[in-house]
Structure 1
Amino acid sequence: MTGLSLHDGGVPHDALMDSVYRRQRHFYDVTRRYYLLGRDRLIEDLAPPRGGSVLEVGCGTGRNLILAREAHPQADYYGFDISNEMLEQARLSARRAGLGGDLTFAQGDAADFDPAGAFGVPQFDRVFMSYTISMIPVWEDAIVHAATLVAPGGRLHIVDFGQQERLPRVFRAGLHRWLAAFHVSPRAELEMYLNDIAAWHGAKLRFERLHRGYAWYAVLDFARD
Protein backbone atom coordinates (compact mmCIF):
# COMPACT_ATOMS: atom_id res chain seq x y z
CA MET A 1 0.00 0.00 0.00
CA THR A 2 1.18 3.52 -0.80
CA GLY A 3 -0.51 6.08 1.43
CA LEU A 4 -2.09 9.16 -0.16
CA SER A 5 -1.03 12.44 1.36
CA LEU A 6 -3.60 14.63 3.06
CA HIS A 7 -1.68 17.72 1.96
CA ASP A 8 -1.09 17.35 -1.73
CA GLY A 9 -4.30 16.46 -3.54
CA GLY A 10 -3.68 12.72 -3.65
CA VAL A 11 -0.02 12.43 -4.69
CA PRO A 12 1.31 9.00 -3.58
CA HIS A 13 3.02 9.46 -0.25
CA ASP A 14 6.26 7.76 -1.31
CA ALA A 15 6.59 10.16 -4.27
CA LEU A 16 5.85 13.14 -2.03
CA MET A 17 8.47 12.11 0.52
CA ASP A 18 11.06 11.53 -2.18
CA SER A 19 10.42 15.02 -3.56
CA VAL A 20 10.66 16.56 -0.08
CA TYR A 21 13.89 14.80 0.84
CA ARG A 22 15.73 14.60 -2.48
CA ARG A 23 17.83 17.61 -1.43
CA GLN A 24 17.04 17.82 2.27
CA ARG A 25 18.54 14.41 3.03
CA HIS A 26 22.03 15.86 2.59
CA PHE A 27 21.63 18.35 5.47
CA TYR A 28 18.64 16.89 7.34
CA ASP A 29 20.52 15.74 10.44
CA VAL A 30 22.42 19.00 10.83
CA THR A 31 19.25 21.09 10.95
CA ARG A 32 16.85 18.74 12.75
CA ARG A 33 19.06 18.31 15.79
CA TYR A 34 17.83 21.69 17.05
CA TYR A 35 14.10 20.98 17.07
CA LEU A 36 13.41 17.23 16.94
CA LEU A 37 13.59 17.03 20.70
CA GLY A 38 13.32 13.82 22.70
CA ARG A 39 14.95 11.50 20.17
CA ASP A 40 18.03 10.85 22.28
CA ARG A 41 15.86 10.20 25.35
CA LEU A 42 14.03 7.53 23.34
CA ILE A 43 17.27 5.95 22.14
CA GLU A 44 18.63 5.80 25.69
CA ASP A 45 15.43 4.16 26.92
CA LEU A 46 15.40 1.39 24.31
CA ALA A 47 17.76 -0.90 26.23
CA PRO A 48 16.99 -4.00 24.15
CA PRO A 49 17.82 -7.43 25.58
CA ARG A 50 21.02 -9.18 24.56
CA GLY A 51 20.44 -10.89 21.24
CA GLY A 52 17.21 -8.92 20.80
CA SER A 53 15.90 -7.06 17.78
CA VAL A 54 15.03 -3.41 17.20
CA LEU A 55 12.93 -1.92 14.39
CA GLU A 56 12.60 1.76 13.49
CA VAL A 57 9.45 2.70 11.60
CA GLY A 58 10.33 5.58 9.27
CA CYS A 59 14.09 5.39 9.76
CA GLY A 60 14.89 8.41 7.58
CA THR A 61 18.63 9.09 7.34
CA GLY A 62 19.48 6.24 9.72
CA ARG A 63 20.66 8.68 12.39
CA ASN A 64 18.61 7.13 15.20
CA LEU A 65 19.53 3.54 14.33
CA ILE A 66 23.22 4.40 14.19
CA LEU A 67 23.09 6.00 17.64
CA ALA A 68 20.98 3.15 19.02
CA ARG A 69 23.43 0.55 17.70
CA GLU A 70 26.34 2.44 19.26
CA ALA A 71 24.51 2.77 22.60
CA HIS A 72 23.15 -0.78 22.71
CA PRO A 73 25.39 -3.03 20.57
CA GLN A 74 23.89 -6.22 22.01
CA ALA A 75 20.94 -6.25 19.59
CA ASP A 76 20.19 -6.45 15.86
CA TYR A 77 18.86 -3.32 14.16
CA TYR A 78 16.43 -2.87 11.28
CA GLY A 79 14.76 0.12 9.69
CA PHE A 80 12.38 0.92 6.90
CA ASP A 81 11.14 4.09 5.25
CA ILE A 82 8.71 4.98 2.50
CA SER A 83 11.28 7.28 0.86
CA ASN A 84 13.99 5.69 -1.26
CA GLU A 85 15.88 9.00 -1.11
CA MET A 86 16.11 8.74 2.67
CA LEU A 87 17.07 5.07 2.50
CA GLU A 88 19.94 5.92 0.18
CA GLN A 89 21.16 8.42 2.76
CA ALA A 90 20.65 5.91 5.59
CA ARG A 91 22.80 3.29 3.90
CA LEU A 92 25.48 5.89 3.16
CA SER A 93 25.45 7.13 6.77
CA ALA A 94 25.70 3.57 8.10
CA ARG A 95 28.74 2.87 5.92
CA ARG A 96 30.39 6.10 7.02
CA ALA A 97 29.81 5.11 10.66
CA GLY A 98 31.40 1.72 10.03
CA LEU A 99 28.05 0.00 10.56
CA GLY A 100 27.16 -0.88 7.00
CA GLY A 101 26.95 -4.55 7.86
CA ASP A 102 25.20 -4.05 11.19
CA LEU A 103 22.07 -2.19 10.10
CA THR A 104 19.49 -3.61 7.69
CA PHE A 105 17.18 -1.35 5.69
CA ALA A 106 14.16 -1.81 3.43
CA GLN A 107 11.56 0.31 1.65
CA GLY A 108 7.97 0.13 2.84
CA ASP A 109 4.80 1.84 4.04
CA ALA A 110 4.25 2.14 7.79
CA ALA A 111 0.64 1.02 7.49
CA ASP A 112 1.34 -2.44 6.12
CA PHE A 113 5.08 -3.16 6.08
CA ASP A 114 5.94 -6.88 6.15
CA PRO A 115 9.17 -7.34 8.14
CA ALA A 116 9.05 -11.12 7.83
CA GLY A 117 9.23 -10.77 4.06
CA ALA A 118 11.82 -7.99 4.10
CA PHE A 119 14.03 -9.09 7.00
CA GLY A 120 12.95 -12.60 7.93
CA VAL A 121 11.91 -11.23 11.34
CA PRO A 122 8.17 -11.13 12.13
CA GLN A 123 8.31 -9.29 15.47
CA PHE A 124 10.80 -7.23 17.46
CA ASP A 125 11.73 -6.65 21.09
CA ARG A 126 11.70 -2.90 20.52
CA VAL A 127 9.82 -0.94 17.85
CA PHE A 128 10.16 2.83 17.72
CA MET A 129 8.75 5.77 15.77
CA SER A 130 10.61 9.06 15.97
CA TYR A 131 8.87 12.09 14.45
CA THR A 132 7.06 9.93 11.91
CA ILE A 133 3.48 10.00 13.22
CA SER A 134 3.15 13.67 12.30
CA MET A 135 4.17 12.91 8.70
CA ILE A 136 2.10 9.81 8.00
CA PRO A 137 -1.36 10.59 6.57
CA VAL A 138 -2.83 7.33 7.90
CA TRP A 139 -1.05 7.66 11.22
CA GLU A 140 -3.65 5.68 13.17
CA ASP A 141 -3.15 2.69 10.86
CA ALA A 142 0.61 3.03 11.24
CA ILE A 143 0.37 2.79 15.05
CA VAL A 144 -2.03 -0.15 14.89
CA HIS A 145 0.37 -1.96 12.57
CA ALA A 146 3.45 -1.08 14.63
CA ALA A 147 1.79 -2.60 17.70
CA THR A 148 1.43 -5.92 15.87
CA LEU A 149 5.18 -5.93 15.22
CA VAL A 150 6.10 -5.87 18.92
CA ALA A 151 7.02 -9.26 20.35
CA PRO A 152 5.44 -10.37 23.65
CA GLY A 153 7.27 -8.62 26.47
CA GLY A 154 8.50 -5.94 24.08
CA ARG A 155 7.94 -2.19 23.87
CA LEU A 156 6.77 0.39 21.36
CA HIS A 157 8.39 3.83 21.76
CA ILE A 158 7.00 6.96 20.10
CA VAL A 159 8.26 10.55 20.18
CA ASP A 160 6.78 13.36 18.12
CA PHE A 161 5.60 16.93 18.21
CA GLY A 162 3.13 17.64 20.97
CA GLN A 163 0.63 20.47 21.22
CA GLN A 164 2.99 22.89 23.02
CA GLU A 165 0.45 23.12 25.85
CA ARG A 166 2.63 25.16 28.20
CA LEU A 167 4.26 27.36 25.60
CA PRO A 168 3.01 30.76 24.41
CA ARG A 169 0.07 30.58 22.01
CA VAL A 170 1.88 32.70 19.43
CA PHE A 171 4.77 30.22 19.44
CA ARG A 172 2.39 27.30 18.97
CA ALA A 173 0.58 28.96 16.07
CA GLY A 174 3.84 29.90 14.36
CA LEU A 175 5.31 26.43 14.80
CA HIS A 176 2.25 24.72 13.33
CA ARG A 177 2.26 27.02 10.30
CA TRP A 178 5.94 26.35 9.73
CA LEU A 179 5.56 22.58 10.13
CA ALA A 180 2.65 22.52 7.65
CA ALA A 181 5.03 23.80 4.97
CA PHE A 182 6.96 20.53 5.39
CA HIS A 183 3.81 18.32 5.39
CA VAL A 184 4.01 17.85 9.17
CA SER A 185 0.85 17.75 11.32
CA PRO A 186 1.18 17.24 15.09
CA ARG A 187 -1.49 14.77 16.23
CA ALA A 188 -3.60 16.22 19.02
CA GLU A 189 -5.40 12.89 19.48
CA LEU A 190 -2.23 10.83 19.98
CA GLU A 191 -2.55 10.18 23.72
CA MET A 192 -6.21 9.22 23.45
CA TYR A 193 -5.49 6.88 20.57
CA LEU A 194 -2.58 5.23 22.38
CA ASN A 195 -4.82 4.63 25.39
CA ASP A 196 -7.18 2.74 23.09
CA ILE A 197 -4.29 0.70 21.65
CA ALA A 198 -3.04 -0.10 25.16
CA ALA A 199 -6.48 -1.28 26.24
CA TRP A 200 -6.88 -3.42 23.14
CA HIS A 201 -3.53 -5.18 23.61
CA GLY A 202 -3.51 -5.28 27.40
CA ALA A 203 -0.40 -3.08 27.32
CA LYS A 204 0.74 -0.47 29.81
CA LEU A 205 1.07 3.11 28.51
CA ARG A 206 3.52 5.70 29.80
CA PHE A 207 2.93 9.15 28.31
CA GLU A 208 5.09 12.20 29.01
CA ARG A 209 5.05 15.82 27.87
CA LEU A 210 8.59 17.04 27.28
CA HIS A 211 9.80 20.63 27.13
CA ARG A 212 6.46 22.12 28.18
CA GLY A 213 4.58 20.04 25.68
CA TYR A 214 6.81 20.80 22.72
CA ALA A 215 7.27 17.05 22.30
CA TRP A 216 5.24 14.06 23.45
CA TYR A 217 6.92 10.80 24.41
CA ALA A 218 5.04 7.53 24.80
CA VAL A 219 6.03 3.97 25.67
CA LEU A 220 3.69 1.00 25.28
CA ASP A 221 4.85 -1.96 27.35
CA PHE A 222 3.39 -5.24 26.06
CA ALA A 223 2.79 -8.14 28.39
CA ARG A 224 4.29 -11.55 27.77
CA ASP A 225 1.92 -14.26 26.55
Structure 2
Amino acid sequence: MSGQGTSQGDTAGAVLMDRIYGWQRHIYDMTRKPYLLGRDRLIADLQPPDGGTVLELGCGTARNLVVAAQRYPTARFFGIDLSSAMLDSARRSIDRAGLGGRVVIAQGDASAFDPRVVFGRETFDRVFVSYALSMIPPWQQALEAGLGLLGDGGELSCVDFGTMTRYPTILRGPFQAWLAAFHVTPRGDLPHVLSGLAARHGARADVSILHGGYAVYGRVGHDAARKPPND
Protein backbone atom coordinates (compact mmCIF):
# COMPACT_ATOMS: atom_id res chain seq x y z
CA MET A 1 0.00 0.00 0.00
CA SER A 2 1.08 3.58 -0.53
CA GLY A 3 2.16 5.40 2.59
CA GLN A 4 -0.20 7.80 4.29
CA GLY A 5 0.61 10.38 6.91
CA THR A 6 -1.74 12.59 8.87
CA SER A 7 -2.15 16.34 9.04
CA GLN A 8 -4.81 18.50 10.66
CA GLY A 9 -6.30 20.64 7.93
CA ASP A 10 -9.30 22.78 7.05
CA THR A 11 -12.27 20.58 8.02
CA ALA A 12 -14.87 22.67 6.17
CA GLY A 13 -12.68 22.73 3.09
CA ALA A 14 -12.19 18.98 3.25
CA VAL A 15 -15.94 18.41 3.43
CA LEU A 16 -16.48 20.70 0.43
CA MET A 17 -13.81 18.94 -1.64
CA ASP A 18 -15.26 15.54 -0.79
CA ARG A 19 -18.72 16.75 -1.81
CA ILE A 20 -17.42 18.04 -5.15
CA TYR A 21 -15.19 15.08 -5.97
CA GLY A 22 -16.89 12.21 -4.14
CA TRP A 23 -18.22 10.80 -7.41
CA GLN A 24 -16.13 12.77 -9.91
CA ARG A 25 -12.92 11.16 -8.72
CA HIS A 26 -13.92 7.96 -10.52
CA ILE A 27 -13.82 9.72 -13.91
CA TYR A 28 -11.54 12.64 -13.01
CA ASP A 29 -8.37 11.59 -14.83
CA MET A 30 -10.05 10.52 -18.06
CA THR A 31 -12.12 13.73 -18.29
CA ARG A 32 -9.48 16.30 -17.27
CA LYS A 33 -6.69 15.58 -19.75
CA PRO A 34 -8.20 17.70 -22.59
CA TYR A 35 -8.27 20.92 -20.57
CA LEU A 36 -5.75 20.73 -17.72
CA LEU A 37 -3.07 21.92 -20.10
CA GLY A 38 0.59 22.22 -19.15
CA ARG A 39 0.73 19.42 -16.56
CA ASP A 40 3.01 17.17 -18.58
CA ARG A 41 5.24 20.11 -19.50
CA LEU A 42 5.65 20.86 -15.79
CA ILE A 43 6.52 17.24 -15.06
CA ALA A 44 9.05 17.15 -17.90
CA ASP A 45 10.74 20.24 -16.47
CA LEU A 46 10.95 18.97 -12.88
CA GLN A 47 14.21 17.10 -13.44
CA PRO A 48 14.89 16.31 -9.78
CA PRO A 49 18.44 15.32 -8.85
CA ASP A 50 19.33 11.65 -8.68
CA GLY A 51 17.73 10.27 -5.53
CA GLY A 52 15.91 13.57 -5.00
CA THR A 53 12.56 14.33 -3.39
CA VAL A 54 9.46 15.84 -5.00
CA LEU A 55 6.32 17.12 -3.25
CA GLU A 56 2.98 17.88 -4.91
CA LEU A 57 0.61 20.25 -3.10
CA GLY A 58 -2.99 19.31 -3.90
CA CYS A 59 -2.13 15.92 -5.39
CA GLY A 60 -5.74 14.81 -6.00
CA THR A 61 -5.91 11.38 -7.64
CA ALA A 62 -2.08 11.17 -7.79
CA ARG A 63 -2.15 11.21 -11.58
CA ASN A 64 0.80 13.61 -11.68
CA LEU A 65 2.73 11.76 -8.99
CA VAL A 66 2.41 8.47 -10.86
CA VAL A 67 3.50 10.00 -14.18
CA ALA A 68 6.41 11.80 -12.53
CA ALA A 69 7.52 8.75 -10.53
CA GLN A 70 7.59 6.68 -13.71
CA ARG A 71 9.59 9.37 -15.48
CA TYR A 72 12.12 9.80 -12.66
CA PRO A 73 12.69 6.30 -11.25
CA THR A 74 15.38 7.26 -8.72
CA ALA A 75 13.38 10.05 -7.04
CA ARG A 76 10.97 9.79 -4.11
CA PHE A 77 7.57 11.46 -4.27
CA PHE A 78 5.19 12.93 -1.72
CA GLY A 79 1.70 14.36 -2.08
CA ILE A 80 -0.78 16.15 0.15
CA ASP A 81 -4.46 16.83 -0.46
CA LEU A 82 -7.43 18.03 1.56
CA SER A 83 -9.93 15.55 0.11
CA SER A 84 -10.09 12.08 1.65
CA ALA A 85 -12.18 10.91 -1.32
CA MET A 86 -9.51 11.94 -3.81
CA LEU A 87 -6.82 10.34 -1.67
CA ASP A 88 -8.74 7.04 -1.72
CA SER A 89 -8.49 7.10 -5.51
CA ALA A 90 -4.86 8.20 -5.27
CA ARG A 91 -3.91 5.20 -3.16
CA ARG A 92 -5.46 2.83 -5.66
CA SER A 93 -3.65 4.52 -8.57
CA ILE A 94 -0.32 4.36 -6.76
CA ASP A 95 -0.80 0.71 -5.87
CA ARG A 96 -1.85 -0.23 -9.42
CA ALA A 97 1.34 1.37 -10.71
CA GLY A 98 3.43 -0.54 -8.17
CA LEU A 99 4.80 2.68 -6.72
CA GLY A 100 3.82 2.28 -3.07
CA GLY A 101 7.47 2.18 -2.06
CA ARG A 102 8.32 5.54 -3.64
CA VAL A 103 5.13 7.60 -3.43
CA VAL A 104 3.76 8.71 -0.06
CA ILE A 105 0.49 10.63 0.26
CA ALA A 106 -1.23 12.31 3.19
CA GLN A 107 -4.32 14.34 3.99
CA GLY A 108 -3.73 17.95 4.93
CA ASP A 109 -3.99 21.62 4.06
CA ALA A 110 -1.46 22.55 1.37
CA SER A 111 -1.13 26.05 2.81
CA ALA A 112 -0.51 24.99 6.41
CA PHE A 113 0.98 21.62 7.28
CA ASP A 114 4.16 20.46 9.00
CA PRO A 115 6.14 18.19 6.67
CA ARG A 116 8.18 16.91 9.59
CA VAL A 117 5.04 15.51 11.20
CA VAL A 118 3.41 14.34 7.98
CA PHE A 119 6.38 13.05 5.98
CA GLY A 120 9.25 12.98 8.45
CA ARG A 121 11.33 15.51 6.54
CA GLU A 122 11.72 19.29 6.40
CA THR A 123 12.64 20.05 2.78
CA PHE A 124 12.25 18.80 -0.78
CA ASP A 125 14.21 19.26 -4.00
CA ARG A 126 11.10 20.08 -6.00
CA VAL A 127 7.65 21.29 -4.96
CA PHE A 128 4.86 21.68 -7.50
CA VAL A 129 1.18 22.64 -7.68
CA SER A 130 -0.93 21.66 -10.68
CA TYR A 131 -4.42 23.16 -11.10
CA ALA A 132 -4.91 23.36 -7.34
CA LEU A 133 -4.16 27.03 -6.62
CA SER A 134 -7.48 27.90 -8.25
CA MET A 135 -9.24 25.85 -5.56
CA ILE A 136 -7.18 26.91 -2.53
CA PRO A 137 -8.61 30.08 -0.93
CA PRO A 138 -5.27 31.06 0.70
CA TRP A 139 -3.43 30.27 -2.53
CA GLN A 140 -0.72 32.87 -2.05
CA GLN A 141 -0.02 31.39 1.36
CA ALA A 142 0.27 27.96 -0.27
CA LEU A 143 2.88 29.30 -2.70
CA GLU A 144 4.81 30.95 0.11
CA ALA A 145 4.69 27.72 2.11
CA GLY A 146 5.80 25.69 -0.90
CA LEU A 147 8.82 27.90 -1.50
CA GLY A 148 9.72 27.57 2.17
CA LEU A 149 9.83 23.79 1.84
CA LEU A 150 12.63 23.84 -0.73
CA GLY A 151 16.12 22.68 0.07
CA ASP A 152 19.26 24.25 -1.41
CA GLY A 153 18.95 24.58 -5.17
CA GLY A 154 15.28 23.62 -5.02
CA GLU A 155 12.53 24.81 -7.31
CA LEU A 156 8.80 25.52 -6.97
CA SER A 157 6.65 24.97 -10.07
CA CYS A 158 2.98 25.64 -10.72
CA VAL A 159 0.48 25.58 -13.55
CA ASP A 160 -3.13 26.73 -13.39
CA PHE A 161 -5.92 28.44 -15.27
CA GLY A 162 -5.23 31.88 -16.66
CA THR A 163 -7.63 34.68 -17.52
CA MET A 164 -8.11 33.56 -21.15
CA THR A 165 -7.72 37.16 -22.32
CA ARG A 166 -7.30 36.20 -25.99
CA TYR A 167 -10.47 34.15 -26.07
CA PRO A 168 -13.77 35.67 -27.21
CA THR A 169 -16.26 36.40 -24.45
CA ILE A 170 -18.73 33.92 -25.95
CA LEU A 171 -16.23 31.14 -25.08
CA ARG A 172 -14.54 32.61 -22.03
CA GLY A 173 -17.72 33.47 -20.13
CA PRO A 174 -19.40 30.04 -20.15
CA PHE A 175 -16.13 28.25 -19.44
CA GLN A 176 -15.35 30.41 -16.42
CA ALA A 177 -18.93 30.01 -15.19
CA TRP A 178 -18.51 26.24 -15.45
CA LEU A 179 -15.28 26.45 -13.44
CA ALA A 180 -17.01 28.55 -10.79
CA ALA A 181 -19.65 25.86 -10.37
CA PHE A 182 -16.85 23.63 -9.07
CA HIS A 183 -15.40 26.37 -6.85
CA VAL A 184 -12.52 26.97 -9.27
CA THR A 185 -11.28 30.56 -9.50
CA PRO A 186 -8.52 31.44 -11.99
CA ARG A 187 -5.84 33.53 -10.27
CA GLY A 188 -5.46 36.47 -12.62
CA ASP A 189 -2.55 37.94 -10.69
CA LEU A 190 -0.58 34.69 -10.52
CA PRO A 191 2.27 35.97 -12.75
CA HIS A 192 2.66 39.08 -10.58
CA VAL A 193 2.49 37.04 -7.37
CA LEU A 194 5.18 34.63 -8.58
CA SER A 195 7.48 37.49 -9.55
CA GLY A 196 6.94 39.14 -6.17
CA LEU A 197 7.54 35.88 -4.35
CA ALA A 198 10.85 35.43 -6.14
CA ALA A 199 11.91 39.01 -5.44
CA ARG A 200 11.21 38.71 -1.72
CA HIS A 201 13.29 35.56 -1.44
CA GLY A 202 16.14 36.55 -3.72
CA ALA A 203 15.12 33.89 -6.22
CA ARG A 204 14.35 33.88 -9.94
CA ALA A 205 10.94 33.55 -11.52
CA ASP A 206 10.27 32.14 -14.97
CA VAL A 207 6.62 32.69 -15.94
CA SER A 208 4.97 31.65 -19.20
CA ILE A 209 1.45 32.41 -20.44
CA LEU A 210 0.22 29.35 -22.32
CA HIS A 211 -2.35 28.92 -25.07
CA GLY A 212 -3.45 32.53 -25.37
CA GLY A 213 -3.90 33.03 -21.65
CA TYR A 214 -5.66 29.73 -21.01
CA ALA A 215 -3.02 28.75 -18.46
CA VAL A 216 -0.12 30.20 -16.49
CA TYR A 217 3.04 28.16 -15.91
CA GLY A 218 5.65 29.39 -13.46
CA ARG A 219 8.86 28.25 -11.82
CA VAL A 220 10.51 29.94 -8.85
CA GLY A 221 13.83 29.06 -7.27
CA HIS A 222 17.50 29.84 -7.28
CA ASP A 223 17.83 27.45 -10.23
CA ALA A 224 14.57 28.44 -11.97
CA ALA A 225 16.48 29.71 -15.01
CA ARG A 226 18.75 26.65 -15.27
CA LYS A 227 17.16 25.87 -18.65
CA PRO A 228 14.33 27.26 -20.77
CA PRO A 229 10.89 25.70 -20.10
CA ASN A 230 10.41 22.49 -22.03
CA ASP A 231 8.18 23.07 -25.06
Q: TM-score, normalised by structure 1?
A: 0.93
Is the Cα–Cα contact under 8 Å of residues 127 and 156 in structure 2 kept in the other structure?
A: yes
**Paired position in structure 2 for 1:181:** 181
Cα distance, 1:71 vs structure 2: 0.7
**Paired position in structure 1 for 2:12:** 12
**Paired position in structure 2 for 1:121:** 121
In the TM superposition, what are the counterparts of 1:7-86 in structure 2 within 5 Å? Answer: 12-86=12-86
Is the Cα–Cα contact under 8 Å of residues 206 and 218 in structure 1 kept in the other structure?
A: yes
CA distance in 2 between counterparts of 1:170 and 1:218 reads: 28
SS of residue paired to 2:54 = strand
Query: RMSD between aligned alpha carbons?
Result: 1.2
CA distance in 2 between counterparts of 1:102 and 1:153 reads: 22
Gaps of 5+ in 2: 1-7, 224-231
1:139 aligns with 2:139: yes
Cα distance, 1:12 vs structure 2: 1.0
| Deviation string, structure 1 residues 104-153 (Cα, Å, up to 9, x no partner) | 01111011111111111111100000000000011111111111111121
CA distance in 1 between counterparts of 2:222 and 2:80 reads: 22
Gaps of 5+ in 1: 4-10
Task: Tell me the amino acid that sits aligned with residue 216 of structure 1.
Answer: V
CA distance in 1 between counterparts of 2:210 and 2:179 reads: 18
Structure 1 window deviating more from structure 2 (48-57 vs 106-115): it is 106-115
CA distance in 1 between counterparts of 2:219 and 2:93 reads: 27
CA distance in 2 between counterparts of 1:170 and 1:115 reads: 44
Is the Cα–Cα contact under 8 Å of residues 9 and 113 in structure 2 kept in the other structure?
A: no
**Paired position in structure 1 for 2:211:** 211
Cα distance, 1:2 vs structure 2: 4.0
Question: Which aligned runs of 4 or more in structure 1 are off by greater than 3 angstroms?
Answer: none
CA distance in 2 between counterparts of 1:169 and 1:71 reads: 38
SS of residue paired to 2:109 = coil
| Deviation string, structure 1 residues 187-222 (Cα, Å, up to 9, x no partner) | 111111111110111110000011111111000023
